Amino acid sequence: MNAEVVKIPEDLFLDCEPGPYVSELATDRPGDNGAAQIVRDRLSAIGLDGLRARAKAAENDLMSLGVTFTVYSDATAIDRILPFDCIPRIITAAEWRKLETGVQQRVAAINAFLHDIYHDRKILRDGIVPAELVLGNANYRPEMENFPVRFGTYVHICGIDIIRDQFGDFRVLEDNARTPSGVSYVVENRHLMRRAFPDLLAGMSLMPVDDYGRRLREALTEIAPEGVDDPQVVLLSPGIYNSAYFEHVFLAREMGVPLVEGPDLVVEDDRVFMKTTAGLRAVHSIYRRLGDDFLDPTVFRPESLLGVPGLIRAWRKGNVALANAVGTGVADDKAVYAYMPRIIKYYLDQDPILANVETNICREAEGLAYTLDNLDQLVTKPVGESGGYGITIGPRATREELEASRAALIANPSNWISQPVIGLSVCPTLTDDGIRQRHLDLRPFAVTGRSTWVLPGGLSRVALKAGSLIVNSSQGGGSKDTWVLAEESRR
Amino acid sequence: MTQQIPLLARYAESLFWMARYMERLENLARLVDVTQTFESPGLENEAWDSLIRIYANETHFAETHDGLEPDAVKRYYVLERQNPNSIISSIEAARMNARTLRPLISTEMWKHLNVFHRDLLQIAEHELQGDNLSRLCSRIKEGVQAHTGITEGTLFRDQGWHFYEMGRLIERADQTTRLLDIKFHRMLPKGSEDRRHEERTQWGGVLRAVAGYHAFRRIAPVEFLPQHVAGFLLTDPCFPRSVLLCLSQTEWHLTQLRTSYGLRGTRTALEQIEDMRAALLDRSAEQIISIGLHDFLDGMQRDLIGLAASVGDAFFRDWKPSLQQAQSQSQSTAQP
């Protein structure tokens, strides 16, 4: 027998102090049964060079597979991958139960709210939410008034952005109730990890993520018009030039349904058909990845070529289901968000399981005054934007940026909210300098037909720049695989 | 009737065209390769000139280039995007169609095509020079063959597959007529034994370009004549690239669409195939050559365009392309 020298791998996590933040992998917490420690040890055993080589190979793989989004500049289309960080983020079973029920509660409240504002408007009459905030909202759709949707479900697909604060509590940062994206990366990231890091996953008992397509198909089948036996479900995409086209392809494949574009569909006698080689075939349920404005040029933007003339009429006749329903944008408005704890209480008579981030509404005099007085301490956000645009982080802003923000606030206070700076949790991340802590958030995805199902985990978006709090892919963010531990008793 | 999973008309069209563009680019590689072998010292320009004439690109080429340099012609057919039929334009168009087909085709098909596309985008100028060119052509040919093999082994064979195959076969028949034409353009005047020997060498080159040399050797007389080669390329029932075989297979696919999937509207296309078959078989190759092979091949090419149009009218008819798609597909129909 050869006497082998056992080389003790260098601990890659020595230079990885989380500072004042909670670390999703470095801070030991109850219920993980040592999973975080095992992952750290295994990563150290692979070593920095090994990690880098595998990360590189994994990114090449994503490129070849076309797991990409497309960026257009001039006449050229460039395929980019969403940067993938190979160090996973761990969520314990107990943490997940709380997140899951919290998301379900939130979705229930959002649907109840949408039903109410498009019918009796009790919540407005009771003065819980200011009427003008809803009725004057750019995303409020009069077409929806008194229109019934099956099971009272307006938001069939919901993505809720959640952060963990310095005390370890999960808080909702934003609701996405229109056409949230990113779920394809949740599934693809797991596949990638299984290919590239089987040794890291060995023996880990994780909740599976590959059920999403089936659940989505099921929900879309449930919401189809009554009396249709085997409804034809389709995914309506703006087409190959859309930056999220890969996700549309992914979802159509996972559901096993055709991916259609507007010109593939036609409305005759208020019924929707798709154009096939054998002529027209009826369509009953549409998962649309087009914004409200683009759905039907006869109702919304007349110049849009992406939609289907007559679609809204067919829908209002009850001949086709749309997911999500039209007019859900009024519920994920950043100003309405501030009222969400009260909305939950109002409809469900429950306290929110997941707290909001404390929010000052600048349309209200008090909120505006407080925001202007504390501009250098607060994060200011425009209510209508997504993708991390227009945000000013007070403590990190220059004097000029603060003045610009002040001017914008005064010019149009209703367009703004402000929030305290939250110390987003961090997670060890592979960087050029070695493994370092980076801030991240979590976007779980909920699918609702008759009832709400939440995909275990969700998209963990990580800010790849040191210290950055902005995780959006359009602003240099990447993503991680999110591991929900299956049981507390086992790994 | 087998499975009745509906197929979007747009998908059928994209499958048809993806296959056509892939087949086109393989054949372009074959034609460029064989043209290179026809270069005789001092007559290089003439060899490349005939390639341009075969594709009826004389005007476009003259408008976009200063003179007829062999290097310019090579670039024009391999690298230039302004030529809608170049190898680079074909792979772009094939990938664009594949992109719309991603929900339908196998992941392996998409991945290979995506990587092949990336590979072709990186072709460097020096790869068109000297003996590099033949190697480049082999690489391109093998890339398409890998695509074909992956497709054979992974593409689900419902009606979409029939449209894919028809696109490939119609394009292949068209390209075979062009290859045959290129040689007749370069036919040397009748003459001495030396000339005849040179002649046979060139015919051997044509046959090698379509991987038909050895099969031809087995069935043709030792002292073969041009009409034997023409007959082989046009009507041999076993040679995979013969026009007749491509037509017979197209006919089979159309029949399948009618009988297994209940698709109506195959009649016109089936009649067109019948007419083309008659034109191929009613006369011997020798008669065709004496009447004028070039005109005959021209007519064949027009008939093939007509056949593709009938398939389009019957099955892609409801699909109104958006602006961007119209551009990419008009490149294809703009084919001479």
Within an 8 Å CB–CB cutoff, is residue B146 touching chain A? no
Q: Which fold has domain A358-420?
A: Dna Ligase; domain 1 (3.30.1490)
Please tell me the predicted confidence (pLDDT) of residue A28.
75
Pick the most confident of A74-83, A414-423, B73-82.
B73-82
Q: Which chain A residues are Cβ-neighbours of B96 within 8 angstroms?
A: 240
Instruction: Tell me the mean pLDDT in the region B134-159.
Output: 96
Lowest mean pLDDT among A3-7, A141-145, B299-303: A3-7
Q: Confirm or reject contact between B313 and chain A (CB < 8 A).
A: no
* Cα A33 versus chain centre, distance: 29
Q: pLDDT-derived band of residue B28, with 50, 70 and 90 as boundaries?
A: very high
> In the predicted model, what is the mean pLDDT of residues A95-124?
98
Comparing CB atoms, the residue among B8, B102, B257 nearest residue A275 is: B8
Nearest to B262 among A232, A274, A278 (CB): A278
Domain that holds residue B142: 9-155
Chain B contact present for A34, CB below 8 A:
no
Question: Do residues B103 and B185 share a domain?
Answer: no
Would you call A477 helix, strand, or coil by DSSP? Answer: strand
- Residue A173 in 3-state DSSP? strand
| Cβ of residue A265 closer than 8 Å to a chain B Cβ | no
Q: Residue A386: its pLDDT value, please?
A: 60
Residue A155 is which amino acid?
A: V
- Looking at per-residue pLDDT, the higher value among A80 and B314 belongs to B314
CA distance B48 to B55: 11
Query: Which of B155, B180, B211 is the last residue in one of the domains?
Result: B155
Kindly state whether residues B167 and B311 are assigned to the same domain.
yes
Alpha-carbon distance A338 to nearest alpha carbon in chain B (angstroms): 40
CB contact under 8 A, A274 and B8: yes
**Which of A72-76, A299-303, B91-95, B261-265 reaches the highest mean pLDDT?**
B91-95
Cα four-point dihedral sign B112, B117, B122, B125? positive
Sheet of strand A271-276: strand arrangement: A265-268, A271-276, A279-282
Establish if B16 touches chain A: CB-CB under 8 angstroms: no
CB atoms within 10 A of CB B237: 8
pLDDT of residue B2: 44
Q: Are B119 and B149 in contact (CB under 8 A)?
A: no
- Please name the residues in contact with B278: beta carbons below 8 A apart, sequence gap of 6 or more: none
Residues in chain A: 491
Helices B226-235 + B193-209 axis angle, to 10? 10
- Contact indicator for B99, B108 with CB cutoff of 8 Å: no
Residue B324 has pLDDT above 80, yes or no: no
Question: Across the interface, do B114 and A64 touch by the CB < 8 Å criterion?
Answer: yes
Q: Is B50 exposed, middle or buried (0-12, 13-18, 19+ CB in 10 A)?
A: middle
pLDDT at B159 over 60: yes
Q: Does residue A183 contact residue A255 with C-beta atoms inside 8 Å? A: no
* Secondary element (H or E) of residue B304: helix B285-315
Q: What is the pLDDT of residue B323?
A: 38
Q: Is A278 on the interface with B (CB under 8 A)?
A: yes
**What are phi and psi for residue A393, nearest 5 degrees?**
-100, 105
Whether residue B1 is contained in a domain is answered as no
Report which of residues B90 and A363 the model is more confident about.
B90
Question: For residue A206, what is the DSSP state?
Answer: B
Same domain, B181 and B44: no
Q: What phi and psi, each to the nearest 5 degrees, are found at residue A431?
A: -130, 175
Whether domain A226-319 has CATH 3.40.50.11290: yes
* pLDDT value at A169 more than 90: yes
- Of B7, B21, B36, B38, the C-alpha closest to B186 is B38
**Looking at the structure, do residues B188 and B56 belong to the same domain, yes or no?**
no
| B297/chain A closest Cα distance in angstroms | 31
**For residue B64, what are the CA distances in angstroms to A27, B73, B76?**
66, 11, 10
| B3 lies in some domain | no
pLDDT in the model for residue A15: 79
Look at residue B302 and tell me if it is in a domain: yes
The minimal CB distance from B324 to the residues A241, A253, A278 is found for A241
What residues of A are in contact with residue B263 (Cβ under 8 Å)? 277-278
**B246 shares contact with chain A (CB less than 8 Å):** no
Using the predicted structure, report yes or no on whether residue A94 has a pLDDT greater than 90: yes
pLDDT at A166 over 50: yes
Which of A189-193, A384-388, B202-206, B233-237 has the least mean pLDDT?
Answer: A384-388
Residue B219 sits in the same domain as residue B260: yes
Q: How far is CA A179 from CA A100, A239, B126, B225, B254, in A?
A: 20, 15, 48, 68, 41
Which chain A residue lies closest to B159 (C-alpha atoms)?
Answer: A277
Measured in angstroms, the CA of B14 and the nearest CA of chain A are apart by: 12
Confidence of residue A74 (pLDDT cuts 50, 70, 90): low
**What's the one-letter identity of residue B266?**
T
What is the DSSP track for A5-69?
Answer: PPPPPP-TTTT---TTS-BTTTS--TTSTTHHHHHHHHHHHHHHHHHHHHHHHHHHHHHHHT-EE
Co-location of B165 and B305 in the same domain: yes
**Minimal C-alpha gap between B307 and chain A (Å):** 17
B89 in the same domain as B206: no
Give dist(CA A317, CA A271) in Å, integer. 9
Residue B306: inside a domain: yes
Distance CA B51, CA B35 (A): 7
Smallest Cβ–Cβ distance between A276 and the set B9, B110, B115 belongs to B9
Q: Using a CB-CB distance cutoff of 8 angstroms, which residues of chain B are in contact with residue A275?
A: 8-10, 318-319
Using CB atoms within 10 A of its CB, is residue A34 exposed (0-12), middle (13-18) or buried (19+)? exposed
In a domain, residue B330? The reply is no
- Identify the closest residue of chain A to B311 by CA–CA distance: A277
pLDDT of residue A447: 98
Mean pLDDT of A107-132: 97
Q: Which of residues 89-128 of B touch A (CB under 8 A)?
A: 96, 99-100, 102-103, 107, 110-111, 114-115
Q: Give the lowest-confidence range in A244-248, A335-339, B194-198, B227-231.
A: B194-198
Pairs across A and B, CB distance < 8 A: 79
CB atoms inside a 10 Å sphere around CB B120: 21
Residue A248: closest CA among chain B residues belongs to which residue? B103
What whole-number distance in Å separates Cα of residue B40 and Cα of residue A364? 86
Tell me which residue of A449, A468, A464 sits closest to A155, measured CA to CA.
A449
Q: Cα(B183)–Cα(B204) distance, rounded to whole angstroms?
A: 11
Q: Within 13 Å of residue A139, how many CA atoms lie on the same side as its CB?
A: 21
B334: confidence class by pLDDT, cuts 50, 70, 90: very low
Q: Identify the residue with better confidence: B329 or A56.
A: A56
Q: Is A309 on the interface with B (CB under 8 A)?
A: no
Q: What is the number of other CB atoms lying within 10 angstroms of the CB of residue A89? A: 26
DSSP state, residue B80:
-
- In this structure, how many other beta carbons lie within 10 angstroms of the beta carbon of residue B206? 25
> Using the beta-carbon criterion (under 8 Å), do B10 and A275 form an inter-chain contact?
yes
**Quick one: B88 and B147 in the same domain?**
yes
Q: Are residues B183 and B264 in the same domain?
A: yes
B6 at A interface, C-beta within 8 A: yes
- For residue B325, pLDDT over 60 is answered with no
CB contact under 8 A, A275 and B114: no
> Which chain A residues are within 8 Å of B115, Cβ to Cβ?
64
List where CATH 3.30.1490.270 sits in chain A: 358-420
Nearest CA in chain A to B263: A278
- The DSSP code sequence of A354-385 is SEEPP-EETTSHHHHHHHHHTGGGEEEEETT-
B104 and B155 in contact (C-beta within 8 Å)? no
The per-residue pLDDT for B196 is 73
Q: Which residues on A lie below 8 Å from B97 (Cβ)?
A: none
pLDDT of B95 above 90: yes
Residues of A in contact with B159 (CB under 8 A): 277
User: A243, A277, A281: which to substitute to probe chain B, counting the most B Cβ within 10 Å?
Assistant: A277
Terminal C-alpha separation, chain A: 34
Out of B6, B111, B159, name the one closest to residue A281 (CB): B6
Q: In this predicted model, which residue has the larger pLDDT, A364 or B192?
A: A364
DSSP assignments along B170-186, one per residue: HHHHHHHHHHHHHHHHT
Minimal C-alpha gap between B207 and chain A (Å):
36
Instruction: Residue A280: list chain B partners with CB under 8 A.
Output: 318
Residues in chain A closer than 8 A to B322 (CB atoms): 239, 261-263, 305
Angle A187-A188-A190 (CA atoms, 0-180°, nearest 5)? 70
Q: pLDDT tens digits, residue range A458-471?
A: 999 999 998 888 88
Q: How confident is the model at residue B49 (pLDDT cuts 50, 70, 90)?
A: confident
pLDDT band at B332 (very low <50, low <70, confident <90, very high): very low
pLDDT of residue B147: 98
| Residue type (1 letter), B214 | H
A435 has pLDDT over 70:
yes
State residue A415's pLDDT score.
Answer: 87
Which residue(s) pair with A379 in the sheet?
A: A393, A419
The tens digit of pLDDT for each residue in A278-295 reads: 999 999 999 999 999 999
Q: Find residues 84-123 of chain A whose CB sits inside 8 Å of chain B.
A: none
A194 in contact with B, Cβ within 8 Å:
no
**pLDDT band at residue B29 using 50, 70 and 90 as cut-offs:** very high
Mean pLDDT of the A297-306 span: 85
C-alpha distance from A278 to closest chain B C-alpha (Å): 6
Span B71-83, average pLDDT: 94
Do residue B102 and residue B173 come from a single domain?
no
The ipTM, to two decimals, is 0.88
Residue B118: closest CA among chain A residues belongs to which residue? A64
- Do residues B144 and B106 both lie within one domain? yes
Please, what is the Cα angle at B284 between B281 and B287, to 5 degrees? Answer: 130
The whole-chain average pLDDT of chain A stands at 91
User: What percent of chain B is helix, strand and coil (3-state, nearest 5)?
Assistant: 75, 0, 25
Gap between the Cα atoms of A220 and A286, Å rounded: 7
Per-residue pLDDT band for A17 (boundaries 50, 70, 90) equals: confident
Could you tell me if A323 and A315 are in contact, meaning their C-beta atoms sit under 8 angstroms apart? no
Place of tokens 């409200």: A292
**For chain B, how many structural domains are there in total?**
2
Q: Name every chain B residue with its beta carbon within 8 A of the beta carbon of A263.
A: 10, 319-322
Q: Does the structure show a pLDDT above 70 at A378?
A: yes
Q: Write out pLDDT tens, residues B267-295.
A: 999 999 999 999 999 999 999 999 899 89
- Residue A341: predicted pLDDT: 95
Pairwise CB contact (< 8 Å): A239 & B10: no
Q: Domain ends where: B155, B185, B204?
A: B155
Contacts of A66 in chain B (CB under 8 A): 99, 102, 110-111, 114
Q: Could you tell me which residue, B43 or B85, shows the higher pLDDT?
A: B85
Q: What's the mean pLDDT when you consider all of chain B?
A: 88
- Say if residue B20 is in the same domain as residue B65: yes
For chain B, give the number of residues: 336
Q: Letter for the amino acid at A210?
A: D
| 3-state SS, residue A345 | helix
**What are the residue ranges of CATH 3.40.50.11290 in chain A?**
226-319
- Between β-strands A233-236 and A259-260, what pairing exists: parallel, antiparallel or unpaired? parallel
C-beta atoms of B10 and A279 within 8 A? no
Where is average pLDDT lowest: A292-296, B11-15, B46-50?
B46-50
